[in-house]
Amino acid sequence: MNGEPLVRWDWLLAHLGPIADRVGQHLYLAAIAVGVGFAISFALAALSIRRRRIYPFVVVLATAAYTIPSFAMFVALVAITGPSVISAEIPLVLYTLILFVPNIVAGFDSVPWDVLDAADGMGYTRGQRLWRVELPLAVPLVVVSLRLASVSTIGLVTVTAILGDSLGGLGYYILDGYHRHFTTEILAGGLLSIGLAVVADRGFVLLQRLLTPWAARRTVGG
């Protein structure tokens, strides 16, 4: 813009420490959102499986949450919970629900009926069937939902930068670079965020391979 090179390597080298801290914060914010979102979603999915009639309502609510623009939700929450981690996490968690719940439900639905029939016929109790048969067999789709939610959340964490300099993870560099017309900062924040998303995705694929040695090798995108 003003005759500078596209990437100022000297700036990157001088800021390795702070960049590493921002990577850490980014992962921390994303991990909380994915973890809490998964816990809430698992409960909602379990409820939906037992009472099928509530499932459409759960999906409608989760979809509705997803339609709210993230920017608007972060700004609105500042008025209530201030520029805090809470304000960052509430939208991040809400956005994961629509990625988790349908996939977890589909995971349990994908357990073949003959396997359930055999389990019942051989004398599994209800709880034994859930933990020893249904849950392990739902793992492939549950892992798919973890991949979706983690990639989506890692991207969204950058938007939390609008809550203030103390938040945002790598988004801090994107926003700061934008204000200062400093391309190197924008690229660093953006590319590292993409890198984290890819690493998380591959990590879950690896996890699935470890958890499901029994599956014929046709993992989506694996």
Partner 1 sequence: MSSRLSSFGPVSGSAGVASRTGAASLEFRGVTKRYGRGEQAHDAVNDLSFEVPAGAICVLVGPSGCGKTTSLKMVNRLIEPTAGEILLDGVNVLTEDVTELRRRIGYVIQQVGLFPHLTVGRNVAVVPALVGWSKERQRVRADELLSLVGLDPASYRSRYPYQLSGGERQRVGVARALAADPPLMLMDEPFAAVDPIVRERLQDEFLRLQRDLAKTILFVTHDIDEAIKMGDFVVVMEEGGRLAQFGPPDEILAHPASDFVARFVGADRGLKRLSLVTIADLELESTAGSARAGLPTFAPSTRLRDALSVLLAADSRGGVALDDGGRPRGFVTVDAIASALSEDGHGRARLPKGAGARAAAGDAEIAAANHASAAPGDAKVTAAGGDS
- When the beta carbons of 14 and 115 are compared against partner 1, the nearer one is 115
Structure token digits, residue 141:
């789709």
Among 81, 183, 212, 219, indicate the residue that binds partner 1 (CB under 8 A). 212
Do 169 and 22 touch, CB atoms closer than 8 A? yes
CB of 110 to partner 1, least distance (A): 11
Closest separation between CB of residue 43 and partner 1, Å?
Answer: 23
Residue span binding partner 1 (CB under 8 A) among the ranges 89-97, 150-158, 195-203, 210-218:
210-218
- Report the site for partner 1 in 77-136 (rule: CB under 8 A): 112, 114-125, 128, 133, 136
Look at the block and give the residue holding tokens 């939208």: 91
**Cβ proximity to partner 1, 8 vs 129, nearer residue:** 129
The CB density around residue 116, as the number of other CB atoms within 10 Å, is 15
For tokens 């209800």, name the residue.
Answer: 126
Please report whether residue 215 would count as binding partner 1 according to CB under 8 A: yes
Count of residues that bind partner 1 according to CB under 8 A: 22
Residue with tokens 């409820």: 47
Q: In the bound complex, what is the minimum distance in angstroms from residue 130's beta carbon to partner 1? A: 14
Closest CA to 208 of 128, 146, 134: 146
Burial annotation 152-172 (CB, 10 A radius, 16+ → b, else e): bbbbbbbbbbbbeeebbbbbb
Q: Cβ(149)–Cβ(99) under 8 Å?
A: yes
Kindly tell me which of 6 and 216 has the beta carbon lying closer to partner 1: 216
Report the interface residues with partner 1, using CB under 8 A.
112, 114-125, 128, 133, 136-137, 212-216
